[in-house]
Chain A
Amino acid sequence: MTEPIPQHDPTNARGRSVASEPTPRHDPTDARGETFASEPLLEARGLAATRAGTPVVHGVDLTLRRGDVLAVLGPNGAGKSTLLAVLAGLIPPAAGAVVRHGRVAAALQAPALANRSSRANVEAALAWWGVPRRARRERALSALRTMGADHLQGRRAAGLSGGEARRVHLARALALEADILLLDEPFAGLDSPTRADLLDDSAAALTDPRRATVVVIHDRAEAWAIADNVLIMLDGRPAAAGPVRQVLEAPPTPEVAAFVGFSGRLEQADGALRMLKPGHSTLDPTGDVAAIVARRVPVEDGVRLELTLPNGRLQALSPLPGPDPGESVRLRLEPGVTFAAPGQRTATDTPLHC
């Protein structure tokens, strides 16, 4: 588990040779109070991966230390799950290297519980992990309690609802007390109240200072709740990386900006591209920008307006009833983000590191 995966592609410019001295195997049962904040637990260099012969992940570099929580965000098909599987060692990298200084546990996207009781499922995971029999019950119950699922301990997996199965699934991942925990969309497929409950209950447990954690997520809101750093994957490539606030509020490229919600686009006189979120535009009769309402989409607590401007389009939120399509409105705009020359600066020009 701890040995580095050999470099498969010697020509890879970024993948420097990886130190191969053996690292001590972490006994999952020992007390792990000591932390070496500076010592990386998980490193990837120039990582690439293929699925069924098709390249789906390219050029990923990352370093995680104890206590780090990295959210991997991206649209469907961006290579997030494949990246996670490579980091977990479930599929070999096509190029580059992964170095793990500690034991890795990965909770895959489908809960895939065995047809046994919830507690037996957690205990089975502990057995696979190598925890002695006498310690399993205690640790299983404690993990189920952490996930607010101790009342489900005697229930069979087939009788659990989607949200309950997720809780048990996360409990068995947490019970292992891995040095490196990889979670693939832990909140996928849940309705929003269930998702919010689970997020509230698990946010603290998922950010354990003794562990490095990578969470693949779908929803930006979850990144805010759980992670310190975010890696945005677009088309199999890292498109942005850094602290959550920095990446989500000041995205480095128009592509990333569009993905993180800057849906409005205005061409500036100097050829620059200004991008805004719906929340950046406010209807205001004294505003200095004029626009025409193209479409009106009812949303929770109001309407979302699609606005046409001479130099682009914007979205704005308005309380009910809001203006009708065809009406002229005036807007007050916040700055949003501006890209000097659209499409020129791409993620590959600047090495990303998180």
Chain B
Amino acid sequence: MEFLWDGLRRAIDLLLSGDDEVLDIVWVTLRMAFWSTLLALLVGLPLGLLLGLARFRGRGGALALVNAGMGLPPVVVGLVVALLLFRGAPLGGLNLLYTLDGVILAQAMLAFPIVAALTASAVQSLPDGLLEQARAFGASRTAVAVLALREARVGVLAATIAAAGSAFAEVGAVVLVGGNIEGQTQTLASAVLVRVSAGEYGTAIALGILLLGLVLLLAGALTAIQQRQPRTVLGRPS
């Protein structure tokens, strides 16, 4: 237990001292999480709406795919993305290997099925007739999609929280695609990995505590947005 206390002390020291190295890691982590979540939302929300609302051939199969995608092993995704980005590979020309942009791409690939699957299930559980009624009042497809997102906002924000959480937590793709380069592609999670391998448990725990703090802060903020609307839970006044 000694090293836990040690780690805590070390974490407080690191935070208070404003260590440049740690601030770099935090900054890389935040940029990576922000852009990869945004990318995942840009792809995942329309896909989730399509899978949840439209009726077309192969919809069941596509839903099964994104549902399976929620459990994608990060190491495998990292490996595939890295192989594609190697010099001479199909995407080698993009020069993304061992860059933060490459990490963002890999993390977004991990997160977008989560967004799509959770969004699809959220809009599918909207009350019967809500969207059909909007159509019957002349709503366009876009207006119906906006209404669906708005009414399913609790589920859609849960999808966002899950996507951002995965961006913070994953290491497999970061290490394989980004190379875990300090100051460039090293995130809090992958930094913990390095410190543990080097036997620096105190620093590892300090970084881990920082990571947990960030995740809590983010989840708290999104939960506050999610729960902002007063919801009638117990019956309705007659």
Q: Do they bind each other?
A: yes
**CB distance B237 to A108 under 8 Å?**
no
Hey, which chain B residues are within 8 Å of A108, CB to CB?
A: 129, 132-133, 136
> Contact check: which of B128, B136, B237 meets A107 at CB < 8 Å?
B136
**CB distance B229 to A105 under 8 Å?**
no
Hey, which chain B residues are within 8 Å of A115, CB to CB?
A: 151, 229, 231
**CB distance B132 to A90 under 8 Å?**
yes
Per the 8 Å Cβ criterion, residues 218-238 of B in contact with A are 229-232, 236-238
Q: Is B147's CB within 8 Å of the partner chain A?
A: yes
The stretch that binds B, out of A93-101, A120-128, A266-274, A315-323, is: A120-128
Write the chain B residue with the least CB distance to A105. B137
Hey, which chain A residues are within 8 Å of B94, CB to CB?
A: none
**CB distance B136 to A88 under 8 Å?**
yes
Q: Is B199's CB within 8 Å of the partner chain A?
A: no
**CB distance A128 to B138 under 8 Å?**
yes
Which residue among A109, A115, A172, A176 has the maximum number of chain B CB atoms within 10 Å of its CB? A115
Secondary structure at the B interface, as helix, strand, loop or mixed, is: loop
A128 to B139, CA, bound (A): 4
A160 to B238, CA, bound (A): 7
**CB distance A103 to B133 under 8 Å?**
no
Q: Is A332's CB within 8 Å of the partner chain B?
A: no
Number of interface residues of B (CB under 8 A): 24
**CB distance A158 to B231 under 8 Å?**
yes
Q: Is A130's CB within 8 Å of the partner chain B?
A: yes
Q: Is A145's CB within 8 Å of the partner chain B?
A: no
> Contact check: which of A114, A125, A172, A182 meets B150 at CB < 8 Å?
A114
Q: Is B135's CB within 8 Å of the partner chain A?
A: yes
Q: Is A259's CB within 8 Å of the partner chain B?
A: no
> Contact check: which of B140, B147, B151, B232 meets A156 at CB < 8 Å?
B232
A173 to B150, CA, bound (A): 21
**CB distance B138 to A176 under 8 Å?**
yes
Hey, which chain B residues are within 8 Å of A112, CB to CB?
A: 127-130, 132-133
Question: Digit string of B116-139 for contact with A (CB within 8 Å is 1, else 0)?
Answer: 000000000001111011111111
**CB distance B231 to A161 under 8 Å?**
no
Q: Is B42's CB within 8 Å of the partner chain A?
A: no
A159 to B230, CA, bound (A): 11
Write the chain A residue with the least CB distance to B238. A161
Q: Is B143's CB within 8 Å of the partner chain A?
A: yes
**CB distance A125 to B137 under 8 Å?**
yes
A160 to B147, CA, bound (A): 20
Write the chain B residue with the least CB distance to A184. B136
List the count of A-B residue pairs having beta carbons below 8 Å apart: 66
Hey, which chain A residues are within 8 Å of B133, CB to CB?
A: 107-108, 110, 112
**CB distance A103 to B150 under 8 Å?**
no
Report if A105-B136 is in contact (Cβ < 8 Å); known contacts: A114-B150, A159-B237: yes
**CB distance B147 to A114 under 8 Å?**
yes
For chain A, which range describes its interface: under 10, 10 to 19, 20 to 34, or 35 or more residues?
Answer: 20 to 34
Write the chain A residue with the least CB distance to B130. A112
Q: Is A225's CB within 8 Å of the partner chain B?
A: no
Min CB distance B8 to A, Å, is 43
A156 to B233, CA, bound (A): 13
Q: Is A106's CB within 8 Å of the partner chain B?
A: yes
Hey, which chain A residues are within 8 Å of B231, CB to CB?
A: 115, 158
Write the chain A residue with the least CB distance to B128. A110
**CB distance A90 to B238 under 8 Å?**
no
Hey, which chain A residues are within 8 Å of B134, CB to CB?
A: 124-125, 128
**CB distance A159 to B236 under 8 Å?**
yes
**CB distance B138 to A129 under 8 Å?**
yes
Hey, which chain B residues are within 8 Å of A1, CB to CB?
A: 138
Hey, which chain B residues are within 8 Å of A110, CB to CB?
A: 127-129, 133
Per the 8 Å Cβ criterion, residues 192-230 of B in contact with A are 229-230
A228 to B129, CA, bound (A): 29
**CB distance B236 to A161 under 8 Å?**
yes
A114 to B229, CA, bound (A): 13
Min CB distance B151 to A, Å, is 6
**CB distance B232 to A158 under 8 Å?**
yes
Hey, which chain A residues are within 8 Å of B147, CB to CB?
A: 114, 124
**CB distance B129 to A130 under 8 Å?**
no
Write the chain B residue with the least CB distance to A125. B137
Question: Digit string of A143-162 for contact with B (CB within 8 Å is 1, else 0)?
Answer: 00000000000001011110
**CB distance A172 to B137 under 8 Å?**
yes
Min CB distance B42 to A, Å, is 25
Which residue among B128, B133, B238 has the maximum number of chain A CB atoms within 10 Å of its CB? B133
Which residue among A114, A172, A173 has the maximum number of chain B CB atoms within 10 Å of its CB? A114
A156 to B229, CA, bound (A): 10
Min CB distance A151 to B, Å, is 13
Hey, which chain B residues are within 8 Å of A105, CB to CB?
A: 136-138
15 A-B residue pairs with Cβ-Cβ distance under 8 Å, sorted by A, are A1-B138, A88-B136, A105-B136, A106-B136, A108-B133, A112-B132, A114-B147, A114-B150, A124-B147, A128-B139, A129-B138, A156-B232, A159-B237, A160-B236, A173-B137
Binding site for B on A (CB under 8 A): 1, 88, 90, 103, 105-110, 112, 114-115, 124-125, 127-130, 156, 158-161, 172-173, 176, 182
Q: A107-B136, A112-B128 are in contact. List 17 more A-B contacts (CB 8 A).
A: A1-B138, A90-B135, A105-B138, A108-B129, A110-B128, A112-B127, A114-B151, A115-B151, A124-B134, A125-B137, A128-B140, A129-B137, A159-B236, A159-B237, A161-B238, A172-B137, A176-B137
